[in-house]
Structure 1
């Protein structure tokens, strides 16, 4: 208990934290798939070896102020997960509780055995970026905020033609031309897989197309990451969140895109294509068709997620910044 502030920090287990975590997330303006217990606990199952989970809930009486999902490795304290599998991180704080949560968090942090606190992938506008630096400096900790990456996205209009009109003239022409070139050919068609009972086999083809498209993606797809994707993918499909898109041409699956539909937004998580069909722009066309499908489903926002690849802006994405916040305690005084 923090007597001066009358806040209570509760060290939780995975089992005990789920209820307050889900309650806080449901009322948080920063709610995103990457902050769900499902995503983070699955990550922990596959990548948590050698780390100590520090899961805290914060309360003012019976009022939930928020949840801090952290882990300790050596003397470094951080969010669960890294940028390879998490596009966004943050604390889970209900709207309006920020002014109470962050002082309680800093009070709890002061009693934990860390030297560096590394908070990755905080979105532009995150309350952590506003509240933590001045509170940390009051404790005598140094604070550094750095721009980490961008995560382009865009609000979706009510219809496809309105989306096209919003594009740059050249980009609008290219999107229309490339889609027309493929879709007017009866050899091409697009469809989505969302049945958890059949997803496993289709994930094999998705991974193959990822590996074919870029050497970097081939290196990224380690057996450990594949196992994570399979487990979390089936769980998300069971909840109606996952949609795995394929573009077929002449009976061959030539491009694929893994999307998550979460709280009115479509997240384009990853994609791949067969370079032998690159002259048909199959990767770009499929991504455009996932935007069209999102509009037709009435979704409000399309999130290209982390990375400033050119195609995201050609398809209408607007840049949003991600930040890294690092706190450091001073070295202990000798003697």
Structure 2
């Protein structure tokens, strides 16, 4: 008699991988000991995503991990590490219902996520899937956020779910503008909208009437902390400070971005960049430069200079430098916004993947999330009944 998984399909229906083992890291000290193996997998995978580095994940966990439980999967082929799946357990709500999530290590400050797989992708993904099935008693939904288009995870797991006959859903979260860099700055500049170019020239000329306009960059050294504090002050100077969403308004955000700057500076990956007007700073960019690509993580500007569109002028300098340096891509990250699309026409879609086991409560979660709620929201006059439905479902299926 064949042994069945908790999803009701035989183990033999999944990829057999006798040479592969999966270890689960659940405590912080074991996470610290994982650095060498993680870095090896990241390097061998040829990953150009700085948000999957050990340094990023450790910094994230130290700032945001309170109340959550690590569930990092390390896949080995014999004794050689070949994959890392950075996951965690958390309790939250989905369509108003309390759920136990097994999810990606992420939050709103994670631009992109995926599993790290250096080789033998079919065997690795099959091994991870089987291991997640074994953890089924501990989660109601597997939620993987910010998977980019083309992700092997986004291809493999829905396929496994279909083979297992379980429900899953994919939500299109955002499209991040990015600019592939080829040719030279002047040739690229000539492709931009003529009104945009005219505005840049006029504002740069007017700003230059106040004082010399220049770009300064800090990457490391004893001045880094002071430069970061100055950048965070600028980031909070406009609407973010008033709204309480600026980095310096929230201790965990300050810890994350400060620690990240120091760790990435040690590897030569961070850039704190300023648009200077004489001896004053008009705009700030917190960027990551990794494997020939520039990632724009955080921005800010001094509202006293707002009539000059200082951040657009800073982008002009950042992109000019990126061309001169010979970088291959400039990634604006985050949502598509008009100011980003003035510079970049390409967009990188991201998706959230949800997988629900074959339990009644989980099937109801899937139906509510991907059928009932979207249907109700498509009828604007009925939108208030979405909240009522969430409350009804919560009362019905909560343990």
The reply to whether TM is greater than 0.5 is: yes
Identify which range, 33-42 or 221-230, moves more after superposition.
Answer: 221-230
Out of 22, 25, 28, which is 1:9 matched to? 22
C-alpha distance in structure 2 between counterparts of 1:80 and 1:165, whole Å: 41
Q: C-alpha deviations, 1:283-318, integer Å up to 9, x for none?
A: 110112111111111111100011112111101242
- Counterpart residue number, 1:275: 303
Identify which range, 216-225 or 27-36, moves more after superposition.
Answer: 216-225
Q: C-alpha deviations, 1:197-222, integer Å up to 9, x for none?
A: 11111222211111123237742421
User: Secondary structure of the equivalent of 2:134?
Assistant: coil
- Counterpart residue number, 1:106: 129
C-alpha distance in structure 1 between counterparts of 2:146 and 2:110, whole Å: 8
Q: Is the counterpart of residue 257 in structure 1 residue 285 in structure 2? A: yes
Out of 10, 13, 21, which is 2:38 matched to? 21
Out of 227, 239, 243, which is 1:214 matched to? 239
Measured after TM superposition, the shift of residue 146 of structure 1 is: 1.1
Q: Is the counterpart of residue 323 in structure 1 residue 340 in structure 2? A: no
Q: Is the counterpart of residue 86 in structure 1 residue 110 in structure 2? A: yes
C-alpha distance in structure 2 between counterparts of 1:129 and 1:54, whole Å: 19
Q: Is the counterpart of residue 241 in structure 1 residue 269 in structure 2? A: yes
Measured after TM superposition, the shift of residue 51 of structure 1 is: 1.1
**TM-score of the pair, normalised by structure 1:** 0.91
C-alpha distance in structure 1 between counterparts of 2:46 and 2:146, whole Å: 16
- Counterpart residue number, 2:86: 69
C-alpha distance in structure 1 between counterparts of 2:82 and 2:145, whole Å: 22
Q: Is the counterpart of residue 194 in structure 1 residue 219 in structure 2? A: yes
Q: Give 1 or 2 for the bigger CA radius of gyration.
A: 2
Measured after TM superposition, the shift of residue 11 of structure 1 is: 2.1
Measured after TM superposition, the shift of residue 65 of structure 1 is: 3.5
C-alpha distance in structure 1 between counterparts of 2:321 and 2:132, whole Å: 45
Query: Structure 2: which 5+ residue stretches go unaligned?
Result: 1-10, 92-99, 362-396
Query: Structure 1: which 5+ residue stretches go unaligned?
Result: none
Count of residues in correspondence between the two structures: 331
Q: Is the counterpart of residue 137 in structure 1 residue 165 in structure 2? A: no
C-alpha distance in structure 1 between counterparts of 2:60 and 2:32, whole Å: 15
C-alpha distance in structure 2 between counterparts of 1:220 and 1:175, whole Å: 27
Matches within 5 A, 1:32-71: 32-71=49-88
- Counterpart residue number, 1:266: 294
Q: C-alpha deviations, 1:67-126, integer Å up to 9, x for none?
A: 1111011421111121x21100100012x5321221111100001121111110011111
Is the contact between residue 90 and residue 101 of structure 2 (CA under 8 Å) also seen in structure 1?
Answer: yes
Measured after TM superposition, the shift of residue 148 of structure 1 is: 0.4
C-alpha distance in structure 1 between counterparts of 2:195 and 2:52, whole Å: 37
Q: Is the counterpart of residue 164 in structure 1 residue 189 in structure 2? A: yes
C-alpha distance in structure 1 between counterparts of 2:256 and 2:203, whole Å: 34
Out of 123, 127, 150, which is 2:175 matched to? 150
Is the contact between residue 88 and residue 122 of structure 1 (CA under 8 Å) also seen in structure 2?
Answer: yes
C-alpha distance in structure 2 between counterparts of 1:255 and 1:73, whole Å: 37
Q: C-alpha deviations, 1:227-281, integer Å up to 9, x for none?
A: 1111111111122111111112242211111111100001111111111211111
Q: Alignment RMSD, CA only?
A: 2.2
**TM-score of the pair, normalised by structure 2:** 0.77
Measured after TM superposition, the shift of residue 29 of structure 1 is: 5.0
C-alpha distance in structure 2 between counterparts of 1:251 and 1:284, whole Å: 19
Out of 340, 346, 370, which is 1:312 matched to? 340
C-alpha distance in structure 2 between counterparts of 1:229 and 1:103, whole Å: 35
Measured after TM superposition, the shift of residue 17 of structure 1 is: 2.4
User: Secondary structure of the equivalent of 1:34?
Assistant: helix
